[in-house]
Copies of this chain bind each other. A is one copy, B any other.
Amino acid sequence: VVVTARPSWAKLQTLCEALSARPDVELQIVACASALLERYGRVVDVIKAQGFSIAAECWSVYEGENLLTSAKETGALLGDLAGVLRSLDAGVVVACADRHEVLAVAQAAAYLHLPLAHLQGGERTGSIDDRVRDSVSALATYHFTCTDLAKYRVYGLTGAADRIWNTGCGSIDLAKRALSAPPVTAEELGGAGADIDLTQPFGVLLQHPVTNEAVFARQQMWETIDGWPRDLQLLAWWPGQDAGADRISKALREEALHRPIHTVRNLPPNRFLKLLTQASVLVGNSSAGIREASWLGVPVVNIGMRQWARERGPNVIDVPHDALKIRQAIDQQIAHGRYPSSALYGSGNAGARIAEVLTRVCDRADTRQVG
């Protein structure tokens, strides 16, 4: 199982739990790219803290976060990871989602003639990620999709009718668990900037840069904060690793001079999901607003094009990068309150199902090939 970024672990965690519980499976986790970096919350430490061991690390992220470094770091990861997969003698490689690093994982597996199990194929977000995701699907052997529509798309891409399973998304497994956990407290949350009182109404802001709108990232952030109701506490996440992240961080720092903003860098995925159930509204362009929030019934204001093509439940209001419209949508969602749960992205048992299928097909196949 190759973990290349923090968000992926939320989709892979219950699968890893299910795999490590099986006596007939040897689970090896490889941590790569931003999963190793403090700036992105070093999810590798989260993984270890959950009792997993890390079989190997691949450092590959270049500083600079521009289009050129994206290419260079993917190249570096491909070379490194191929060596690691070879030395680990993997039988099947599991990767998740659509970031450019994932294509390196898929290539490393394909060129080494190792079967690749890909999670989250066939989805649409409307960005360059779609092309990368489809490109990964084209290289993958086994496909575990999160929605029915995604399953049909992967079938259209690959024609591999007997190697596609719609198991739902592992992140819904975590959302299900999160419901029964105790609420997140301000102490647990940590972070910096203005104080926050989680017992009073607050909104969560999670706005990532959009790869091909990197130059506008700063301005888009200004619109959002400008549109944020004055009387709603603002809890903002630092952006992930992508072209434009620096610009968003700058905008956050500048705006924090003008209104109280509590900023957070990281929270374990399960606690983040619990926090969402405490929030009045989730604002931004995070996939969590589309996926987990639909199951959790959290009201969401989704801004801009980043998620435009993604399937969504009834809990989402879409608005452009326009302060006024963002304001209206936030007000509307606060007025509405919680939504009923939707099973669009799974029903909370994805990890177990994927583990079961994977073990079965790998038993059947002679997965190691000559060369």
Q: List A residues at the B interface (Cβ < 8 Å).
A: 34, 36-39, 56, 58-64, 66-72, 74-84, 86-87, 100, 103-104, 106-108, 110-113, 128, 131-132, 134-139, 156-158, 211-215, 243, 246, 369-371
Contacts and interface: CB of A to CB of B under 8 A. Distances in A.
A9 to B, nearest CB: 18
A128 B113 contact: yes
B71 A75 contact: no
8 contacts: A61-B62, A61-B63, A67-B113, A71-B108, A75-B80, A132-B139, A215-B370, A243-B371
Given A59-B62, A70-B111, 19 more contacts: A37-B64, A56-B87, A61-B62, A61-B64, A63-B63, A66-B371, A67-B371, A71-B78, A71-B82, A71-B108, A74-B107, A79-B79, A103-B107, A110-B131, A132-B139, A138-B138, A212-B370, A214-B370, A215-B371
Nearest to A153: B159
Contacts of A103: 107, 135
A174 B107 CA distance: 33
A62 B64 contact: no
How many identical chains are in the complex? 4
Contacts of A110: 128, 131-132
Q: Tell me the dominant secondary structure on chain A's binding face.
A: helix
A25 B246 CA distance: 36
A210 to B, nearest CB: 11
Contacts of A70: 111
A71 B139 CA distance: 13
Given A78-B78, A131-B139, A37 B63 contact: yes
Top 10 nearest A-B pairs (CB, nearest first) are A71-B82, A75-B78, A75-B79, A134-B138, A135-B138, A75-B75, A71-B111, A61-B63, A72-B79, A135-B135
A120 to B, nearest CB: 15
A106 B135 CA distance: 10
